[in-house]
């Protein structure tokens, strides 16, 4: 395993995921769905979505542009890698234990997205946790 390469790949994947959010409003009919929410809930949803994308870009940028800093065995790099591992590990658990399987079972496109998402969350968790454990 080349940790620097995998950190760069993980970074690029997270930036791509943030950019993928550009298609979400149309794909998930957010205009119609959000119209049913109160203004406060709608604004909270939109602000949270923006900040999730921002966090993805920031984590991705750090991993893509400064992987060597994450590979240094410092207290800060261990805390950052531990946080990233927890973030993606928890996201992986949500994929299987929060989302209702009825949302994807028996639906080809949604099943493919579910499987690919699972693989992505697993990969990101493994990269950050693997690098963290390699630091000793």
Model confidence over 85-110: pLDDT tens digits? 999 999 999 999 999 999 999 999 99
State the pLDDT at residue 104. Answer: 93
Distance CA 37, CA 28 (A): 15
Backbone region of residue 106 per phi and psi (left: phi > 0; alpha: psi in -120 to 50; beta: other values): left
State the pLDDT at residue 1. Answer: 73
Domain count, the chain: 1
Domain span at residue 130 reads: 3-134
For the stretch 40-64, pLDDT in tens is 999 999 999 999 999 999 999 999 9
User: What is the pTM (predicted TM-score) of this model?
Assistant: 0.94
The total of other beta-carbon atoms located within 10 Å of residue 115's CB is 12
Which residues have a Cβ under 8 Å from the Cβ of 53 and sit 6 or more positions away?
18, 21
């Amino acid at each position: 395993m080349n940790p620097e390469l995998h950190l760069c790949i993980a970074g690029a994947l997270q930036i791509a995921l943030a950019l993928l959010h550009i298609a979400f409003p149309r794909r998930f009919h957010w205009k119609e769905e959000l119209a049913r929410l109160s203004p406060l809930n709608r604004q909270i949803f939109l602000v949270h979505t923006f900040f999730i994308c921002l966090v993805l870009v920031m984590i991705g940028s750090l991993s893509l542009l400064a992987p060597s800093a994450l590979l240094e065995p410092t207290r800060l790099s261990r805390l950052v890698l531990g946080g990233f591992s927890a973030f993606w590990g928890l996201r992986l658990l949500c994929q299987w234990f929060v989302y209702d399987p009825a949302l994807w079972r028996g639906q080809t496109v949604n099943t493919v997205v579910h499987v690919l998402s699972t693989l992505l969350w697993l990969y990101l968790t493994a990269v950050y946790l693997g690098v963290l454990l390699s630091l000793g």
